[in-house]
Structure 1
Amino acid sequence: MIRSMTGFASGKGTLGPHSWTWELRSVNGKGLDMRIRVPDWLTGLEAALRGQMSKALSRGNVTLSLRLNRDESAPEIVLNETAMAAALAAVKRTQQMAEEASVALATPSAADLVALKGMLDAGADVDDPTALVKQLSTEFATVLAEFIAMREAEGQALAKVLDSQLDQVAAFTDQAAALAEQRKDKMADALRENLARVLENAQSADPDRVAQELALIAVKADVTEEIDRLRTHVTAARDLLAQDVAVGRKLDFLMQEFNRETNTLCSKAQSAELTSVGLELKAVIDQMREQVQNVE
């Protein structure tokens, strides 16, 4: 079962005075690129979330956001004035250095400074976020499972589209094989006529050498290998679609091989009908390649 790289999931939860909202989304990517946004003071949470996603996902540009709120009726939050003074001094010095280097910096807001680790003291739940981190890590597993389920559902839809396109490729390949078979006699007659004409107008020509050259031309016009490879690629693609692992990279490489064989087929066609079928093949393969870009 293939999976799409596009997905979305969300979730909510509460623990004591805290409530939160998860948002997990992804789009296409060559590898696995994870962007995780969680409060800095939740020590160990980002590493735990990154570990869960690394085990479950193979590809995609994945963004995870955690919005954490605290109930206003909770005990009063106390500002760590020493830490804040140090932070303000660091901001001031940074701005001075930036001005000296003619670099413009945005002024941090009060919310930015308060969000820094160690700025607030409001009881054990903030000083020691262990219980909150554990709860968030546990609940994220459910969000991740829903996210994967959505990617699998989209993957099933993708698989149906790709399977239908492979049917078209197989049908056009059979057409190309039939047309190539039909033109064999015509090509043989044309080669014999060309050989007779050359020998008639060039008495000193070596008949064996001329025959070798014409045979080489015939080989270059033969599309049997291309047709055989296209059929092999169709079988390989169907096998990949049936696997229960990430196959996006392999399918992408296979699309390149499909395109290569079709281009060669068109270059060897030497007939309007075979060229037309080759162009139809190229169109379907291009459509397949677009779909494959979204396969994990």
Structure 2
Amino acid sequence: MTRSMTAFARRQSEQEWGTLIWEIRSVNHRYLEPHLRLPESFREIEGPLRERLRKRLQRGKVECTLRFQAAEAGEQQLNLNTEVAHQVRDAAQQLSDLLANPSPINPLELLRWPGVLKQNELDMKAIQKQALNQFDDAIKELIDNRLREGAELAQLINQRLDGIDNVVSQVREKLPEILEKQRQNILTRLEDARVELDPNRVEQEIVMLAQKADVDEELDRLDTHTGEVRRVLKQKEAIGRRLDFLMQELNREANTLSSKSIVAETTQCAVELKVLIEQMREQIQNIE
């Protein structure tokens, strides 16, 4: 299926240890060019991330940004180190016994003593695994968006292909009439010039005119190329380069048709073909 190279995806997850946010942007590029922006604590998963990209995408400049915000201390689970708390309490009690007018022991003051409260250490391996899984989800979302936009591009291209088919049909229908008009023009010019008509010479001129105006081969190749473009649009793999090549072939046939033109009608048809081909080429620049 046709996939665009322009898309955006965002995935966010919130856990007790904090928040992970992936943002992925992709634009058209001749090859796959990934750019990863990761917090320092996630550098060791850069290799697996690049490998995941290579397996899922083939073309495009892809910017992947990961943001990690650890939960604040108040949001994390706090554990009381009872052993240290007992030691601090006993030391405070001993000190109170030495004083004449000791103040009551304040539990909040005990909590501020280093080591009395323990915060759970972050399990970075588990968080990195979550980041990888979330990255897979973001890539899937990106591909879905690429497919959705690619379907729209394919529709636009098919409309231009229909336009090319119509122009080719018009040229085929007009060609016999054009040749007959040119034949009559030759005869009229010779008669106006009061030149004695040599039937053989007249016939040679008409044959030469017909050969110059014979564009059946070009029209057949235009039909073949438009059919091939439609076939390629239905393929599942990356098709952008193949479509770009076909645009060159279509443009070559349009140029040949223009060079063989002997009347304004076929010249105008050749111009219309070039316009339609250029419109398709611009759309194809965004196809993977």
Q: TM-score, structure 2 length as denominator?
A: 0.74
Compute the displacement of 1:179 (Å): 2.0
Report what 1:145 is aligned to: 140
Tell whether the 8 Å contact from 2:16 to 2:75 is kept in structure 1 after alignment: no
C-alpha distance 75-165 of structure 1, shift in aligned 2 (>3 A): closer
* Distance in 2 separating the partners of 1:223 and 1:149: 43
Give the unaligned 5+ runs of structure 1. 77-122, 202-207
* Distance in 1 separating the partners of 2:235 and 2:121: 46
Check if 1:242 corresponds to 2:234: yes
Check if 1:270 corresponds to 2:270: no
Q: Aligned residue pairs: how many?
A: 244
Deviations 1:181-232 (A, max 9, x none): 322334456678999xxxx99xxxxxx9xx9998666534321111111010
Report what 1:96 is aligned to: none
SS in 2 for 1:42: helix
Tell whether the 8 Å contact from 1:125 to 1:132 is kept in structure 2 after alignment: no
Tell whether the 8 Å contact from 2:150 to 2:287 is kept in structure 1 after alignment: yes
SS in 2 for 1:227: helix
Report what 2:20 is aligned to: 20
C-alpha distance 124-277 of structure 1, shift in aligned 2 (>3 A): farther
Tell whether the 8 Å contact from 1:5 to 1:26 is kept in structure 2 after alignment: yes
Check if 1:135 corresponds to 2:130: yes
Tell whether the 8 Å contact from 2:22 to 2:134 is kept in structure 1 after alignment: no
Report what 2:6 is aligned to: 6
Check if 1:54 corresponds to 2:54: yes
Q: Pick the aligned partner of 2:222 from 224, 230, 235.
A: 230
Deviations 1:133-158 (A, max 9, x none): 21111111111111100100111111
C-alpha distance 167-180 of structure 1, shift in aligned 2 (>3 A): same
SS in 1 for 2:42: coil
Check if 1:29 corresponds to 2:24: no
Compute the displacement of 1:44 (Å): 2.8
Check if 1:155 corresponds to 2:150: yes
How large is the Cα RMSD of the aligned pairs? 3.4
Tell whether the 8 Å contact from 2:31 to 2:58 is kept in structure 1 after alignment: yes
* Distance in 1 separating the partners of 2:46 and 2:18: 18
For 1:86-235, list aligned pairs within 5 A: 129-187=124-182, 218-235=210-227
Give the unaligned 5+ runs of structure 2. 77-117
Check if 1:294 corresponds to 2:286: yes
* Distance in 2 separating the partners of 1:47 and 1:124: 31
C-alpha distance 225-51 of structure 1, shift in aligned 2 (>3 A): same
Report what 1:70 is aligned to: 70
Compute the displacement of 1:164 (Å): 1.1
SS in 1 for 2:52: helix
Amino acid at match of 1:273: E
* Distance in 1 separating the partners of 2:189 and 2:49: 72
SS in 2 for 1:58: coil
Tell whether the 8 Å contact from 2:179 to 2:210 is kept in structure 1 after alignment: no
* Distance in 2 separating the partners of 1:266 and 1:281: 10
SS in 1 for 2:24: strand
% identical aligned pairs? 39
* Distance in 1 separating the partners of 2:121 and 2:219: 67
Amino acid at match of 1:54: R
Compute the displacement of 1:53 (Å): 1.1
Tell whether the 8 Å contact from 2:183 to 2:206 is kept in structure 1 after alignment: no
Q: TM-score, structure 1 length as denominator?
A: 0.72
